[in-house]
Each structure stands twice: as structure tokens, then as C-alpha cells.
Amino acid sequence: MASLRTPSMPISTFAQKCHQMVSAGHSTIGWTQEGDTVWVSNPERLAREHIPAYYDHSSYASWTRALHAHSFRKLGPSRWSHPEFHRDRPEIAASIVRKRPPHRGGTPATLTIVEGVNGAKAKLKEEMEQLQLPPLRATTSAEGEDESEDTEDCTAEERPPSLPSAPEEPSPEIVERLRKLRQQILAEKAIVRQMRGLLEQLEANATRARREELQLRHSVVQLADWIATTAMVPAVAAVAAGSIAASAAAMSAAVSTNALVAPSAALASRCVDEAHLESQLPLLHDSSCALLDSLSMNLNQLVVAAA
């Protein structure tokens, strides 16, 4: 029977190259004061300038993954250490190897047992062929898998090409669900249209209210102007009456003076002036009444507009 042995890992030179790079005195990588920890100050510059000189790549991430694969322990940001990686002992760096990868399909012991069984079966088959005995019908799992693969290949070759299948009809539950979703979408669209109409109506109402507010402000300004004008009418009338009184007094004084000088001429002139004053008084009264009527009419119009 074949001897049972475990596969050995190949010798790795990663740690030796890493020791050379750390000990080269670069400004981006070096040893701590104790000599048992590696620090990196500028990963980008290290990957660009120094890693390609020792390895076949220029990736800082690949270099750190290799550190983890060789059992380096990360102590902090850009700081690593290993029990067998020291500044003053470069010869022991060669003993650092990669971690053994996880085995697929079973443990290492199981794999070696299977290899031994397969070797013994091959040796037994050779001996049976030499003795011209019929082959064994009992097959191992590997041989059974080979036969099943051959059978599948034969059936695949003999099997006619499959025709494209027609699309499957959806189940009643899916149809009902789609119908409900379609109705829900239509209802939501109707709600959106209704909300859009309400929004347009609100915008129209806001515009109309703004227009009415501006008209009301204009009416208030006109009313204030009319009130100010009405308040000035008595003052204007008083000024006019004062001027008329002053004119009458001056005329009376002049008449009196003329009467002293020439009684007959003065008397005639006074009569003429008094007749003239009497003829002007009705006109003044009529103009004052017309002004008051126009002011009252404007006031009524402004009150109606404000209402």
C-alpha cells in the first residue's frame, strides 16, 4: 500500500525580501527602536518606489495581505510584528512560511487515506490483470462518478434537441394581484389629477384676492386724498372771505376819503362799489356750493368703491 504522507508547503522568500526592504533605511518603512516591529509612514510612496524593487507588483494592499498570510500580527495603523522577524536576526526570517490554505473536500488525513486506498486498488487491479481474472464490479465513488459522467455524456448525445417551451401562464393569484395593482395605480392617478385641479383653483383664488387687495388699497389712497382736500376747503374759504373783507374795508376807506374830498362824487362811487359787491356775493355763494357738492359726490363714490 502506498505510504501516507502530508503535502509540504513550498519555501517562501517573502519574509527575507521584506527584511531586506525594512533594513534598507528607506524613509517610508523601518524598524522601531526595539527592532521587533515594522512601521510604515507613507503607504502610497512605499508602493510606488520601493515595493516593485523587491516584489513583482506595486500594490500596498497585496503586500499587507501577504503579511497576514505569513502570520504577521497587526499592532496598529501601519505597524506589524512577527516572533521570528527581528532587525538583528535576519537569518531566522527564512523560517517564516505562508499559512497552510484550507483543504477542500476533507481534512489532510482523509485526503492521504483516500490516496492510499486508490493506490492499493490500482495495484490490485494490475495483479488481477496479470492473473486474467474478471474485473471487479464494485466500484469506488470516484469510478462511479466516472461511469455516471460517461452515462450522462451518452444520454446527452442521444437526447434530441429540446424545443423552446411556451411561456408559462401566470397563476390566478398573480393575475389577481396584478389587477389590484392596476386599479390602485388608476385610483392614484385620479387623485393626482384632482389635487392638480384643486391647486390650480387655489392659485386662481389667490390671484383674484391679490387683485382685490390692490384695488382696495387704491380706493383707500383716493379716500385719504379726498379727506385731505375736504379739510382744506374751510381754510380756502376763510382765506377768500378774508381777502374779500379786506378789499371791502379798503374800498370803504377809499370811499370815506373821497366823500370828505368830494361828497357827491364819493357818494356816487360808493353806490357803484356797493352795487358791484352785492352782484359778486351771489356768484361767490354759488361757486362755494358747487365745490361742496362736488366734494360730497366724490366722497360718496369712494365709500361705494370701498364697500
Is 269 a domain residue? Answer: yes
Q: Which of 77, 95, 113 is the last residue of a domain?
A: 95
3-state helix, strand and coil shares in percent for the chain, rounded to the nearest 5: 70, 5, 25
* Residue 70 contacts residue 55 (beta carbons within 8 Å): no
pTM: 0.34
- Could you tell me the residue range of the domain that residue 276 belongs to? 215-306
Give the whole-angstrom CA distance, residue 114 versus residue 108: 10
Tens of pLDDT, residue by residue over 218-271, are: 888 988 888 888 877 677 667 777 777 777 778 777 756 655 555 556 566 777
- 75 Cβ neighbours under 8 A, 6+ residues apart: 37, 81
Residues 92, 82: contact at Cβ < 8 Å?
A: no
Domain stop point among 44, 72, 95: 95
Is the residue at 194 inside a domain? no
Nearest-angstrom CA–CA distance, 67 and 36: 15
Tell me if 245 is assigned to some domain: yes
d(CA 67, CA 43): 14
Number of domains in the chain: 2
Query: Residue 258 domain-assigned?
Result: yes
- Low-confidence residues of the chain: pLDDT under 70: 1-11, 101-119, 123, 127-167, 233, 236-237, 255-268, 307
Helix axes 263-306, 172-261, angle to 10 degrees: 170
Say if 164 falls within a structural domain: no
- For residue 73, tell me if it sits in a domain: yes
In angstroms, rounded to a whole number, what is the distance separating the alpha carbons of residues 115 and 123?
A: 12
Last residue of a domain, one of 67, 95, 123: 95
Q: Is 199 part of any domain?
A: no
SS3 170: coil
